[in-house]
Amino acid sequence: MDRILFPPRPKGKMNPKAELVSAERTGRFVAQRKFNGTRTLMYVDSEGGITLFDRYGRENKYQFSHEQKAEAREALILQAGWEYWLDGELMHFKTKGIKNTLVFYDLLWEKEFLFGCNQIERLQRLAAICNHPISLDTDEKALYVSQSLRLAEVFDNDFMALFEQSFNPTWDWCEGLVLRDRNSVLDTPCYKVNEEVRWQKRCRKPNKNYNH
């Protein structure tokens, strides 16, 4: 391992009524669902070993079992001898409907750190690693990669409708949307904890602890 990576975080928050539709009209952004889990990076070493890290650079208390790691290696398209850092959300204890599952939504390292690689190319590379899944899981939460792995869908339009879906009372797993600037590049070296970036925008539904 060359170094620990820390995932970039959206800078600030956006008001859906005032900003979500206008952001879509610019054509600059793609949207993904914001999963209500624990920010987690999956590190794959050059020998195929898999370790889960939290956003503070610590090994997660929850780690995949030997069976889950074997399943991941079989499901993912990984080049022998390469290292990978896949950014995602571990659905483990916060929600009722999805457990012990890692949802991927970005790629930070593929053989080398992807500094300067634009957002759409990273999403395309991530989809290729996940073997281009096209089917949703049985609960229609994300694209099915394997029993323990999912890939977040990427949307080009209907942002407000997607956001309003998150208000479904059975969707405790979904906090809203994250918008990603399609033309942005990975411009942070990811060596600082909680480093914020402007090419991500967080659009969360309000709750008792959070409002716009």
Q: Is the pLDDT of residue 210 over 60?
A: no
Two tokens, residue 197: 């970036």
**DSSP letter at 12?**
S
Note the pLDDT tens digit of each residue in 8-43. Answer: 999 878 889 889 999 999 999 999 999 999 999 999
Q: What is the mean pLDDT of residues 142-161?
A: 96
Identify the band that residue 3 occupies on the pLDDT scale cut at 50, 70 and 90.
confident
Q: How far is CA 195 from CA 1, 114, 188, 205, in A?
A: 21, 16, 8, 23
Q: What is the mean pLDDT of residues 148-176?
A: 94
* Cα distance between residue 179 and residue 171, in whole Å: 19
Geometric angle at alpha carbon 73, from 68 and 79, rounded to 5°: 160
Task: Output the pLDDT for position 15.
Answer: 87
Residues 6+ apart with CB under 8 A from 204: 13, 34, 175, 176, 210
Q: Indicate the pTM of the whole model.
A: 0.94
Q: Is the pLDDT of residue 152 over 90?
A: yes
Q: What domains can be seen in the chain, in order of their start residue?
A: 9-204 (3.30.470.30)
Note the pLDDT tens digit of each residue in 35-79. Answer: 999 999 999 999 999 999 999 999 999 999 999 999 999 999 999
Task: Output the pLDDT for position 184.
Answer: 96
Residue pair 16/69 in contact by the 8 Å Cβ criterion: no
DSSP-assigned beta bridge partners for residue 151: 104, 143
Task: Output the pLDDT for position 140.
Answer: 84
Q: Is the pLDDT of residue 86 over 80?
A: yes
Task: Output the pLDDT for position 211.
Answer: 59
Identify the band that residue 208 occupies on the pLDDT scale cut at 50, 70 and 90.
low
* Cα distance between residue 52 and residue 205, in whole Å: 28
Note the pLDDT tens digit of each residue in 95-143. Answer: 766 778 999 999 999 999 999 999 999 999 999 999 999 999 888 899 9
Beta-strand relationship, 9-10 and 143-146? unpaired
Q: Which of 13-17, 88-92, 197-201 has the lowest mean pLDDT?
A: 13-17
Task: Output the pLDDT for position 209.
Answer: 60
Say what the alpha-carbon torsion angle 159, 120, 136, 20 is, to the nearest 10 degrees.
-10
Q: How far is CA 141 from CA 46, 122, 148, 191, in A?
A: 31, 21, 13, 31
Identify the band that residue 93 occupies on the pLDDT scale cut at 50, 70 and 90.
confident
